[in-house]
Amino acid sequence: MNNYKIPSQTQIGHIHLKVSDLQRALDFYCGLLGFELMTRMGEQAAFISAGGYHHHIGLNTWHSKGEPNAPKHQVGLFHTAILYPTRKDLANIYSRLKEHDYPFTGFADHGVSEALYLDDPDGNGVELYYDRPKEEWPLNSDGNLNMYTRPLNLKELLLELE
């Protein structure tokens, strides 16, 4: 192994998901979560974004149209993480999902972030989260990052909307 380090400004540009039903996926990602449809390739693929980027998420049925969800306990994507710019934005999407009775799979305070967990209609895990400011991240006594998983106080999160 060499000592190569990826440049610190590197980002994950987009994800591309195989889906069973393109319109159902668009109803979730655009209709419920609020992504913007950038372009669509008939009934085979669509590219969606936040804020007009060419695409943050690609959706396609090229190899998966009408297929069942992938098994949970096999190798593959654990979840897609969608970072919200403010805690109030996270509270807004939590409130929206609750209003639509969309099922959650979990909620967590990770010290560095607060997260909502759910599955999309194809069973792909989705994390909706807000990062705390870096100066608030918890550190161990040796100065290393101390991430954890604790219950998220949802009542406190909703206070952001008042």
Judged against a pLDDT cut of 90, whether residue 2 lies above it is answered with no
Same domain for 105 and 38? no
Same domain for 57 and 90? no
Structural domain boundaries enclosing 23: 14-65
pLDDT at 12: 87
pLDDT at 26: 98
Same domain for 89 and 56? no
Q: Answer yes or no: is 70 within a domain.
A: no
Taking a C-beta distance cutoff of 8 angstroms, is the pair 46, 39 a contact? Answer: yes
Q: Answer yes or no: is 133 within a domain.
A: yes
pLDDT at 1: 65
- What is the chain's length? 162
Give residues with Cβ within 8 angstroms of 28, minimum separation 6: 120, 121
Taking a C-beta distance cutoff of 8 angstroms, is the pair 126, 79 a contact? Answer: yes
**Average pLDDT, integer, range 108-115:** 98
Share above pLDDT 70 across residues of the chain, in percent, rounded to a whole number = 99
Record the pTM: 0.93
Which pLDDT tens digit goes with each residue over 49-81?
Answer: 999 999 999 999 999 999 999 998 999 889 999
**Cα–Cα distance, 21 to 42 (Å, whole number):** 12
